[in-house]
Amino acid sequence: MSSSTLTLPQREQYRRSSAAATGAAPATAPRSPWARTRRDLTIWLILSDLFAIAVPAWIALLAGNLLLAGTAAAVGATMVLTAWSLGALGIDAVEQAGPSTVRFAAAATVSIPVALLLADLSGAARATLLTALAVQLLMSITGRSIESGWLHRRRLEGHALRRTLIVMGSGAQPMLTQLRRHPMDGFLIVGYLSSGQDRAFHSAEPVRSPQHIAQTLHAERIDAVMTVGSVTPEDLVTLMRGLESTQARLVVAPGLQDVVPSRMRALTVTHGWTGLIAVKTRSTRALGKALFDRVAGAIGLLLISPLLAATAVAIRIDSPGPVFYTQTRVGQNGKPFTMWKFRSMYIDSDARRASVVKAGGDAGNEVMFKDRQDPRITRVGRWIRRLSIDELPQLINVVRGDMSLVGPRPALPVEVAKYDTEALRRLLVKPGLTGLWQVSGRSDLSWASTVALDRHYVENRGGALDAKIFAGTLRAVIGGKGAY
């Protein structure tokens, strides 16, 4: 097959083991590097889970209690087998590096009655068996987290990627852009085909026949075929028939932007004539979130009051001026409010802003002004910004109801004046003390990335996402990336 069929910018990266990469498909294509990696990952997960089962049993054996060792192993095996049946060895766990925490938590819950029953039958202490189960659960999740982190690092380095053939329909370009921005998803685009009669992508050859697809996958060692955009039903049938004699996966990108997998469900249809996806529409639960914000904000203010007092003293000693800095920001639905922060700049900072902007201090963000070496920042100000302590007084705004604990970054009126339609969606919810922008780079982000993150939060907001952001905030604050 001629190499002109595909655009292959990284062909040589995966052909180093081949003696002659001539562009023509060899008689027998060598096994894909990803196939070997996937096998190794699966073995790692299995051995990691078995090790989690064995550790409490080993401890019991060392203590000379053979019956307890067998009982603990049986409980652990019940948990692990249940987790596997729930998909803990499935495609999302192995290929997408999903931690399977929810699956293992559910499996552990199912295993609790088994542990209690076996404790009564064996005479072992219930607390001992439940402790063993907790250890097995923790070790299973830890092993998978290690595997997930390793796979993500390898993918950022350009390894452990699935050679992917993209089949493009109309509307494919935005999704292709997102696909290229997230290498940790593990898709290396090595070729394109075009779907449809209008041939919007003239540089790519059309989908021809199942034989054409099978030959392409064989010659280029394709691991996954991904349809992006409006691929015609006829071309989808051709793809599936061409995949029948291969090990490649078919991945269909439905074109749903800012819809997390937890909002999608497969639907059963009469006689199984096709596959349907139901998308859960966004729900606000504004009353519960507002109540939680105010109660948690008040508790937070009480707990950190010694830190607030010490910071206030340091600010007054370092430079003349008030302890707090107040500024008008734009809140939910465009309503302005007064935001509280610790003062981290000299008192003439607002008057000097125009000169700093003119000097070229913008850190690469087209709308929000930031300067890594802003001369208006005081000595104490640099430290409290680095640790995000300057933002803690915003808990006052949270208690007052102007802000939420989690949400988009509070915007200045001058910034809102430059918003386009997509950016204005940031104002559909209350701004947050922390958010996706805080855990994803803060001031290092481009404006387009900031809008994309806030739009993602607006479309998928809920308790689970808020909890994930809270967990990432501490890591971002300690690392200090983008804080200046």
Query: pTM value?
Result: 0.68
Same domain, yes or no, for 176 and 203? Answer: yes
The reported pLDDT for the residue numbered 28 is 47
Residue-by-residue pLDDT tens, the chain, 484 positions: 333 344 443 343 334 333 333 334 444 455 678 989 999 999 999 999 999 999 999 999 999 999 999 999 999 999 999 999 999 999 889 998 887 899 999 999 999 999 999 999 988 899 999 999 999 999 999 999 999 989 999 998 999 999 999 999 888 888 888 888 888 889 999 999 998 765 556 678 889 899 999 999 999 999 999 999 888 889 999 999 999 988 899 999 887 877 888 788 888 887 777 888 888 876 556 788 889 999 999 999 999 999 999 999 999 999 888 999 999 999 999 999 999 999 988 887 777 776 766 666 544 454 555 555 677 888 899 899 888 899 999 999 999 999 999 999 898 898 899 888 888 988 999 999 998 877 876 556 677 778 888 888 888 888 888 888 888 887 777 665 545 4
Cα separation, 5 vs 20, whole angstroms? 19
- The number of domains in the chain is 3
The predicted structure's pLDDT at residue 182: 82
| 428 domain-assigned | yes
Asked if residue 312 and residue 247 are part of one domain, the reply reads: no
In terms of domains, do 145 and 232 share one? no
In terms of domains, do 330 and 470 share one? yes
Residue 241, in any domain of the structure:
yes
Kindly report the backbone phi and psi dihedral angles of residue 162, in degrees, each rounded to the nearest multiple of 5, phi listed first.
-90, 120
Structural domain including 296 reads 286-479
Judgement on whether residues 299 and 370 belong to the same structural domain of the protein: yes
**Is 425 a member of any domain?**
yes
Which positions ≥6 away from 12 have C-beta within 8 Å? 21
Give Cα separations from 441 to 447, 468, 484 (angstroms). 12, 16, 11
* Residues 10 and 41 both lie in one domain: no
Q: What pLDDT, on the 0 to 100 scale, is given for residue 201?
A: 63
Domain stops at, among 156, 180, 196 = 156
Q: Which two tokens stand for residue 130?
A: 């439940």
Residue 73 in tokens: 């192993």
At 198 the pLDDT is: 59
Q: How far is CA 87 from the centre of its chain?
A: 19
Cα separations (Å) of 195 from 34, 134, 224, 238?
Answer: 27, 51, 17, 11
**Are the CB atoms for 324 and 342 separated by under 8 Å?**
yes
Residue that the structure tokens 């023509």 belong to: 24
Residues 402, 475 within the same domain: yes
**Domain C-terminal end among 156, 178, 196:** 156
Query: What are phi and psi for residue 395, nearest 5 degrees?
Result: -60, -30
> In this predicted structure, what is the pLDDT of residue 89?
93
CB neighbour class for 268 (10 Å; exposed up to 12, middle 13-18, buried from 19) = exposed
C-alpha radius of gyration, the chain, whole number: 27
For residue 79 the two structure tokens come to 């948990």
Q: Which helix (H) or strand (E) holds 326?
A: strand 324-330
- Long-range interactions of 65-69: CB distance < 8 A, separation 24+: 67/122, 67/123, 67/124, 68/122, 68/124, 68/128, 68/129
Where does a domain end: 255, 278, 313? Answer: 255
Judge if 406 and 352 occupy the same domain.
Answer: yes
CA distance 427 to 416: 9
